[in-house]
Amino acid sequence: ILLITNIPDLEKTYKEFLNILNGKKVSIGFKTKIVYVDIKDCTSTGYTNDTGYNDSSTCQLEHTSGKIDYELDHVLYDGLIIIVNILNDKFVSIISNTYINSFVKAKKNIFLSINNVIGKNATKLLKSLNIYVHGNTNYVDDIFNNNNNNNNNISLIKNKSKELKNAFYTNKIIENTPIIKTYSQKKKLNILYKGTAHSILLKEKYYLEVLKCNKTCLLYNRTHEILNNEKKGLDLLLISSIQLENNLRLVFSSSSVIFSDFFFKINNDNKRIAIDLVYWYLNKSGIIRYNNFKLYKSSGTSERNSFCATDSDRNINTYENINTYENINNNHISKVKPKQKPCFYINNVIYVSIDFYELNYNYWIPYKKKDIQFELIHTNIIYRNFLNRYKNDNNPTYYKNFKLPNKHGVYKFQIYYLRKGYNILNLTYFITVRSLLHYDKNQKVESPNYPFYLYIYISLFFFFFLPWYYCLTIRTRNN
């Protein structure tokens, strides 16, 4: 993992967070390369952050080297983490937009954590990632919320500690997703927060509101005046996660100090949410795979194991059993054996079954939800329905019986599953549906198809009967 920062002594002030990445606290075990970007004349060794987030600290940034995209190739790393105090134009001139986009195009996850944004280029960089931060030295605070009982006397600490000025607690954490594992505990996580807020410029299905502000939260400028024209309350996002169609994961926090040792020591819930976020960022949670996909005629129809003799001539790729699963990094098909494709006819009843698994702390367990749908598509969607589950909780198999249409053609069976917090599953399987023909071998004629065969035989009968009758009539006249 490549970690880029402009915070001096990050290895001291964010030691616990780095231990999470390196696997010293939890079983993750990624090596982290830390790159300090142009930090000069640093004399501070601890947590330093002034109230207005201005750029007048003892550690100044100076652009003395070129862009780093040539020095640190994205191919060498599995992910990118950027933790900065202030994201400004000087930092963006070193960390170019194309360099970050190289991780996006390579489907490598990104973790961004900043305290504030200053400058047009910095704002443009975040907008390219579909993020809008209420920056320019703005900050969010919740001075009206006094309902948090378990807050370690934050009002008293604020008066004594400069670092905790404008800090507040919030417990508006996302539910029913694999991102926050500790949410299922009886005690709700209460996060100590200090920083600004942001919004996501995407459709709702592509991002998750991991941590939101309380109802009484407001945005303030550097002179501590309320910004009435900006969003407020629950509309202010503090931590969010984005997952695009290519399963790229992006975690964004509009505060970096909440992951520091200083905040971890005061509030242990900050450390818990950091562990869950890192797990999800590193694809250790929220991963679904599928296996043992089977599709064949239901036992109630005739000739379940019949095959089309013309499939090989049509150069159609056929499989006995598609054993496909979603890997951590990519999809691949294993144990595929070429075989003749089953022959399906109109109005056949089809049985489909598939196993789903979920990654849970390095173990694959059966995935148990009731919202997985399948589609049968011709030109338009023929119908859509939910897959069924067995009552046994340890059984990962989903199944469904469905009837093919009464029109021949090539149909696409598709399962496109997008659930927030999980990777996107996309399974497609093409079904060739034929009309019953009289020259098909080894086909028992079903009762609904008798009119077709009756028409064939009547046509053959009259084909011979009419000439014979005509000849008979002519002969009778002559006589």
Q: What are the sequence ranges of the domains in the chain?
A: 2-282, 287-444, 453-479
According to the model, what pLDDT value does residue 98 have? 83
Find out whether 50 and 40 touch, Cβ atoms under 8 Å: no
Q: What dotted CATH number matches 2-282?
A: 3.40.50
Q: What pTM value is reported for the model?
A: 0.69
Strands 388-389 and 397-403, bridge-based pairing = antiparallel
Of 178-187, 289-298, 318-327, 456-465, give the lowest mean pLDDT range: 318-327
The answer to whether 415 touches 373, Cβ cutoff 8 Å, is yes
Provide the pLDDT confidence category of residue 59 given band limits of 50, 70 and 90: very low
- How far apart (Å, rounded) are the C-alpha atoms in residues 234 and 232? 6
**Mean pLDDT, the chain, whole residue set:** 76
In whole angstroms, what is the distance from residue 180 CA to residue 273 CA?
Answer: 7
Q: What is the pLDDT of residue 344?
A: 79
Residue type, 412: K
Q: Can you tell me the distance from the alpha carbon of 125 to that of 47, in angstroms, rounded to the nearest whole number?
A: 27
182-206 confidence digits (pLDDT tens) = 554 557 788 899 989 888 988 888 8
Percent helix, strand, coil in the chain, to 5, is 25, 30, 45
Query: What is the pLDDT, as a whole number, of residue 43?
Result: 36
Q: Same fold for the domain at 2-282 and the one at 287-444? A: no
pLDDT value for 448: 60
pLDDT in tens, 283-312: 888 888 988 888 888 765 444 445 554 434
Ranking 67-81, 110-124, 305-319, 352-366 by mean pLDDT, the lowest is: 305-319
Q: Would you state the pLDDT for residue 83?
A: 92
Quote the strand ranges of 298-408, DSSP E.
323-326, 331-334, 344-345, 349-360, 363-366, 373-377, 381-386, 388-389, 397-403
- Report the CATH fold assignment for 287-444: Immunoglobulin-like (2.60.40)
Neighbours of 356 (CB within 10 A): 24
As a whole number of Å, the CA-based R_g of the chain is 32
Q: What does the pLDDT average to over 391-408?
A: 84
For residue range 246-285, list pLDDT tens digits in order: 788 899 999 999 999 999 998 888 998 998 898 888 888 8
Say yes or no to pLDDT of 318 above 50: no
Q: How far is residue 300's CA from residue 306's CA, in Å, rounded to a whole number?
A: 14
Instruction: Give the count of beta carbons closer than 10 Å to the beta carbon of residue 69.
Output: 16
pLDDT of residue 238: 92
Query: Quick one: pLDDT band at residue 35, thresholds 50, 70, 90?
Result: confident
Check whether 88 has a pLDDT greater than 90. no
Q: What is the pLDDT of residue 30?
A: 74
pLDDT recorded at residue 38: 60
- Using CA atoms, how far residue 186 sits from 18, 58, 147, 183, 321, in Å, is 28, 44, 18, 8, 44
pLDDT score, position 240: 92
What is the average pLDDT across 25-50? 57
pLDDT grade for 82, boundaries at 50, 70 and 90: very high
Phi-psi region of 458 (alpha: psi -120 to 50; beta: other; left: phi over 0): alpha
102-132 pLDDT per residue, tens: 888 888 889 999 988 888 888 888 998 889 9
Instruction: Assess contact for 324 and 293: CB atoms under 8 A.
Output: yes
